[in-house]
Chains A and B, each alone.
Chain A
């Protein structure tokens, strides 16, 4: 991991000066990177498969397109032990409160991937029964289009999320 070197820092001088440097956030940047790197590698998804996209999530987790390359083969059933919510499939009006509850039960830090067009925007079902995009209920980090998205597309979405996690601030 590269170490940031700033010109003009004189370490080994008075303690007040060191404290000034620390407050300026020099160390926190590196900590962000360290924490982001650790977080992205060991995300545990929560089981929230709704419809057809859930079958593709299962296929992504299976042998051919292996999710455990990125530490994600453990799908936690309890949202309290999970940090990634892959909303895969069409979200009906009846299920929407359950989604919000599951999201609320997940501890921070948590991320949401909206998989498939039905979760992202209602998909082909622009009707009374489907929530037109889960981002009306939960904040989404990555949208993966497709009906259903191929496992490679979902993997690209997951890698995009990992890039986002790696570069975001560690403690919001």
Chain B
């Protein structure tokens, strides 16, 4: 079944599905996230039973600012589908999908670690890659890259996010 056919199957319930560059993307509200993923897994035309990756992107100029991305795959049909969920900066919390996909455990911890998005219902939400006492969420766009100026003999160069290069 091709991407267009999968998208047609999804559109029966979620008509907002978009196909671009050979990939199908669906935006759902965070309140219906678990319901949507369960339906996508159980629907016989789709069988999206494998969760590849969960991540987030921060768009500070948009509202809502955080856009999470769930990459689903059907192991039997070899098709992929992307589900996107939004979260605002004031209330960056989303239901956890670990009850459906145990693999989401570390992915959600990493997203929390980088962006500060909390996942309700996660069994053990704490930092995974950064030290446990780290302050801040570094991958947000308002956080600096960090790093020190580079010293040469008689000159320094600031870190790359402060150099003013386009």
Give chain A's interface residues, CB within 8 Å of chain B. 93-94, 122, 126-129, 132
Q: Which residue of A lies closest to B134 (CB)?
A: A93
CB distance from B163 to the nearest CB of A (A): 11
Residues of A within 8 A of B146 (CB): 126-129
Inter-chain contact B131/A122, CB cutoff 8 Å: no
- How many A-B pairs fall under 8 Å by CB? 29
Inter-chain contact B145/A126, CB cutoff 8 Å: yes
Secondary structure of the A contact surface, majority rule = loop
Inter-chain contact A126/B130, CB cutoff 8 Å: no
**Looking at the complex, which one of B131, B134, B148 makes contact with A126 (CB distance below 8 Å)?**
B148
Within the assembled complex, what's the spacing in Å between the Cα atoms of A126 and B156? 14
Within the assembled complex, what's the spacing in Å between the Cα atoms of A122 and B159? 12
In the complex, the 8 A-B pairs of residues with the closest C-beta atoms, listed nearest first:
A128-B146, A126-B147, A94-B131, A127-B146, A132-B148, A127-B147, A127-B145, A126-B159
Q: Which residue of B lies closest to A95 (CB)?
A: B131
Residues of B within 8 A of A127 (CB): 145-147, 159
Residues of B within 8 A of A126 (CB): 145-148, 150, 159-160
Inter-chain contact A132/B131, CB cutoff 8 Å: no
